[in-house]
Structure 1
Amino acid sequence: MRCKLLFASLLLAAGFAQAAPATYKLDPNHTQVIASWNHFGYSNPIANFGNVDGTLVYDPDKVEASSVNVTLPLSGLDALVPDLTKHLQSADFFDAEKWPNATFKSTKVEKGEGNKLKVTGDLTIRDVTKPVVLDVTLNKAGQGRNGEPKVGFNATTTIKRAEFGVAKFIPNVSDEIELRITTEATVPQAEDTKK
């Protein structure tokens, strides 16, 4: 009897180890993509890309099978100052009327030390696509309020906006843009997928 229980336990453990990676939906209410830059040496303004839409596939046992696919609607851009928000959305910068979305699609995910990951992907802004590397920290993997699988990540990177055709006022306004991302994502429950 003891052998049967041990065998059943081993089979169960093997099943968990070989579980398929989960697909998570980003929570736009708990996701912030913050851009910051230097303005004439005097200040370091920020802007948040809100209304983020996307999914991530995360497999803790096989990190290289993970992936990220995100859309950043420029209608959700908020620089906390209405006039600056409008200017950033204008043709001087993002030209949101012509190119309403920025996107990021991963091409490689690598495991780092501890809870660290390195995510390489294609960032598209104004119809220009360039490779970007995100330094990612897994904050927590657990369960949401309704028991659904949930994960949270932070990520950082630095890009040069001129490479994406957003070059107005360089060098007085810095070319380098620091991006800081924090996000929560959950596996949708069955009733959510029917909506």
Structure 2
Amino acid sequence: MTFKAFALGLAVASVATLSMAKPMTYTIDPTHTATVFTWDHFGFSTPSGNFTDIQGKITVDNDKPEKSSVQVTIPLSSINTNVKVLDDHLLKADFFDAEKYPTITFKSTKVETRDKKNYKITGDLTIKGITKPVVLDAVLNKQAEHPMAKVPAIGFNATTSFDRSAFGVGAYVPNVGDKITVNITTEATVPAQK
């Protein structure tokens, strides 16, 4: 067998191996994930807040991206606007009513991509017991072995926006803006085998 034939065979085998790759489920790393939300405040400023505890799974099927999925749970207790009085108020009944509805959830229903780099992820967002569809515009940053953890890792950035009043969180609209813009960055890894 010539070197050329060997190389060709190796390339075909590599492609075959890649095409049979199984979907991979990654666990979101809260320490490298941020969900920053912003709103208009009386037209004077655009404050922001973040949730510091993002939990969930990202399942990626590279061969059939439409079979990929995202599931996220956000404990409202992790809210942080850098203003303690505001954090406490946002958890009360006129906003999130966290005692009755302690989490926000997102569950994808459709994943679309044309280039396996830019994704449109449609899903059900549930806030305060109300579920509405939202669309995340997501960009794949990197999918590779994590250089420190030595496990498969993936990272995305994503954006979305929605009217908070649609989820029963409409206090002080329109003086305090109804539209919430969300910027997300996340890293997720496949847990190491024990």
Normalised by the length of structure 1, the TM-score is: 0.92
Two-structure CA RMSD over aligned residues (Å):
1.6
Q: 2:159: which partner in 1?
A: 156
Identity of aligned residues (%): 49
Distance 2:162 2:96 in 1: 15
Instruction: Please state whether the residue corresponding to 1:122 is helix, strand or coil.
Output: strand
Q: 1:5 Cα deviation (Å)?
A: 7.2
C-alpha separation in 2, matches of 1:112 and 1:159: 24
Q: Which residue of 2 aligns with 1:138?
A: 140
* 1:24 is the counterpart of 2:39: no
User: What is the deviation of 1:146?
Assistant: 2.7
Q: Would the aligned equivalents of 1:31 and 1:182 in 2 still touch at CA under 8 Å? A: yes
Equivalent pair of 2:144/2:152 in contact (CA under 8 Å) = yes
Q: Which residue of 2 aligns with 1:14?
A: 16
Aligned with residue 175 of structure 2, among 156, 172, 175: 172
Distance change >3 Å, CA 27–CA 92, structure 1 → 2: same
Following superposition, the deviation at residue 43 of structure 1 comes to: 1.1
Corresponding residue number in structure 1 for 2:190: 187
Equivalent residue pairs, number: 191
CA drift at 1:143: 1.4
Q: Secondary structure at the match of 2:15?
A: helix
Q: Which runs of 5+ in 1 are unaligned?
A: none
| Alpha-carbon distance in structure 1 between the residues aligned to 2:7 and 2:141 | 35
Q: Give the equivalent residue in structure 1 for 2:58.
A: 56
Deviation at 1:53, TM superposition (A): 0.5
- Check whether the contact 1:112–1:118 (CA below 8 A) recurs between aligned residues: no
Cα distance, 1:29–1:122 mapped onto 2, change above 3 Å: same
User: What amino acid does structure 1 have at the position aligned with 2:102?
Assistant: P
Q: Contact conserved, 2:65 with 2:116, CA < 8 A, in 1?
A: no
Alpha-carbon offset, residue 113 of structure 1: 4.4
How far apart are the structure 2 equivalents of 1:9 and 1:42? 59
Once the two structures are TM-superposed, the CA of residue 179 in structure 1 deviates from its matched residue by 0.6
Shift in alpha-carbon separation, 1:156–1:5, aligned structure 2, 3 A: closer
